[in-house]
Amino acid sequence: MAEDKVVQDETDESAAPEKHRHLEVEITNEDDGDVYKFSVKHDERLDSVIARLYADKLHREPVDDDRLRCEAGGEDVFTFASMTFKAYLDAGHCAALKWLFSGPTGGA
């Protein structure tokens, strides 16, 4: 029983300090419909996830007209790139952490 308890404690994230707990960010790529999920920590900055999005999923460099916005309400995410997730959520931004990515679009 004691062993069971130890294992349970190690996997119980509620027992960990908040800054070490993981959050999940879900990003839908509107250009092809793919959905990416990233595990992040409270004290991690948004721009670290944005960098992983480009490097690991999009396989390209950012360009000016890329858009990344909150699925609920459409608020721009890039604006807050230098914030930690804790600060971002504490300030009331995008509580569900579901974002939408789209690349540049031409038209007239």
Partner 1 sequence: MTGPARTDPEVAAITFRRDLDKFWDRGAAAERGWQRRTHDQLTELITLQGNDGTQVLPYYLRVRADWYPDFPPQITLLEPDWVTEPPERSTWLPTIQNPPFQFGLHHVYDYRNPDTQELIDKRQLICFSHSFDYYVSSHTPQSAERWEHPRHTVAATLNRLHQVLQPPCYTGPQSPREPQAEQA
Residue 98 and residue 6: Cα distance in Å, rounded?
33
Under the criterion CB under 8 A, does residue 35 sit at the interface with partner 1? yes
Among residues 13, 31, 56, 90, the one that binds partner 1 under rule CB under 8 A = 31
Under the criterion CB under 8 A, does residue 56 sit at the interface with partner 1? no
Beginning with the edge strand found earlier in the chain, give each strand of the sheet holding 67-70 in spatial order: 35-41, 22-29, 98-102, 67-70
Under the criterion CB under 8 A, does residue 37 sit at the interface with partner 1? no
Under the criterion CB under 8 A, does residue 48 sit at the interface with partner 1? no
Under the criterion CB under 8 A, does residue 67 sit at the interface with partner 1? yes
Token pair 């999920």 is found at 37
Under the criterion CB under 8 A, does residue 104 sit at the interface with partner 1? yes
Residue 85 and residue 68: Cα distance in Å, rounded?
16
CB-based contact 99:81 (threshold 8 Å)? no
Closest separation in Å from C-beta 108 to partner 1? 5
Nearer to partner 1, 92 or 106 (CB): 106
